[in-house]
Amino acid sequence: MDIEQQVEHRRIVVDGVVHHYVTAGAGRPLVLIHGFPQTWWQWREVMARLTDGFQLIVPDLRGLGGTPGPATGYDKHTLAADVRAIVEAECGDQPVLLCGHDMGAYVAFAYALDNRDSVGGVVLVDAPPPGTSFMDRLVTFPRVWHVAFHANVDVAHMLISGRERAYVRQFVMTRIYDVSAISEEDIDRYAAAYAAPGALRSGLELYRALPVDRELNLAALAEGGKLAMPVIAVASGMTAAPRDLDEMVDEIALNGEVVIVDRSGHWIPEEQPDRMAKVILDLAARSSSP
């Protein structure tokens, strides 16, 4: 099924910033949020499996989608407000389900913290939220060298700019299990998105904002307590640390679960779309109806 033939591309202006997103399907609102160095396109296979029963709302994060982003506003609670505005434009105040991967998981978590009464459940894919003990430890591991590198935005931009395709390909292929899941054409698409004016810097700013994300998340948890809606943390079987994941879920959720996806690297929505779709369907079954 060619998802490109089913989606509608839309744009919205939120506080002076132009955002691109796609929609497809009909039914219960489901928001899918991409990570770095990807775009809405990373959800193509999952979307194809969920158009029957879900109103899919799939944004590009600010600065991507063909319109340069502003210089500031890359903390994940601000990005969650961007997504919230898109959701309100599409389905009003209906409760939504959220699923985010990588940086998109951080946005989904912030959205859930800030909009507890309008979120039926959330899936966090291969990304422990800032403010959790696991994330505090993880950023010291050599295998996540890129977090500190990307956060040094000016240097990272200088070294990657003009080499976007080579960098995106290396970044993807060193974190993948099934190399057939992301084609050279997919790499072309992602590289072109980040080579657009301002896009690479916007993507890197997501990392510079992580210390702010940590403080905002901790403050929101201290004020509102753990999330009460169902929370599923999905992790790659290549790198999963079950004890750390259990601890992480316990820190942020009253009704949490860990799912480890075997035979997948970091790019679970593309490497294991059937499994990813099933996790979302399981979340929908566990969460309250809209």
DSSP 251-266: HHBSSEEEEEESS--S
133-160: pLDDT as tens digits: 999 999 999 999 999 999 999 999 999 9
2-44: pLDDT as tens digits: 788 899 999 999 999 999 999 999 999 999 999 999 999 999 9
Q: CB neighbours (10 Å) of residue 197? A: 10
Residue 290 has pLDDT above 80, yes or no: no
Residue 100 has φ and ψ, to the nearest 5°, of: -130, 145
Strand 8-14 and strand 17-24: the pairing is antiparallel
Q: Assess contact for 107 and 58: CB atoms under 8 A.
A: no
Please indicate whether residue 52 is annotated as part of the active site: no
Please indicate whether residue 190 is annotated as part of the active site: no
The active-site residue, picked from 20, 34, 150, 266, is 266
Angle (deg, nearest 10), helices 210-224 and 199-208: 50
Which pLDDT score is estimated for 3?
A: 83
Name the DSSP letter for residue 267. -
Q: Assess contact for 123 and 280: CB atoms under 8 A.
A: yes
The active-site residue, picked from 34, 207, 213, 244, is 207
**DSSP secondary structure letters along 110-134:** HHHHH-GGGEEEEEEES-PPTTSHH
Say which CATH superfamily domain 3-286 falls into. Alpha/Beta hydrolase fold, catalytic domain (3.40.50.1820)
Tokens representing residue 152 in the block: 């040094």
116-138: pLDDT as tens digits: 999 999 999 999 999 999 999 99
Which pLDDT score is estimated for 11?
A: 97
| Radius of gyration (C-alpha) of the chain in whole angstroms | 17
pLDDT mean over 84-105: 97
Residue 171 has pLDDT above 50, yes or no: yes
Which pLDDT score is estimated for 259?
A: 98
Q: Say how far apart CA 283 and CA 285 lie, in whole Å.
A: 5
Sequence length of the chain is 290
Q: Assess contact for 279 and 264: CB atoms under 8 A.
A: no
Which pLDDT score is estimated for 1?
A: 56
- What is the pTM assigned to this prediction? 0.97
Please indicate whether residue 20 is annotated as part of the active site: no
The active-site residue, picked from 102, 126, 186, 213, is 102
Which pLDDT score is estimated for 5?
A: 85
Q: Say how far apart CA 274 and CA 27 lie, in whole Å.
A: 19
Name the nearest CA neighbour of 216 among 110, 145, 90. 110
196-239: pLDDT as tens digits: 999 999 999 999 999 999 999 999 999 999 999 999 999 999 99
250-284: pLDDT as tens digits: 999 999 999 999 999 999 999 999 999 999 999 99
Q: Say how far apart CA 168 and CA 180 lie, in whole Å.
A: 16
**DSSP secondary structure letters along 36-91:** TT--GGGGHHHHHHHTEEEEEEEEPPTT-SSS---SS--SHHHHHHHHHHHHHHHH
Which pLDDT score is estimated for 283?
A: 97
Residue 66 has pLDDT above 90, yes or no: no
Residue 184 has pLDDT above 70, yes or no: yes
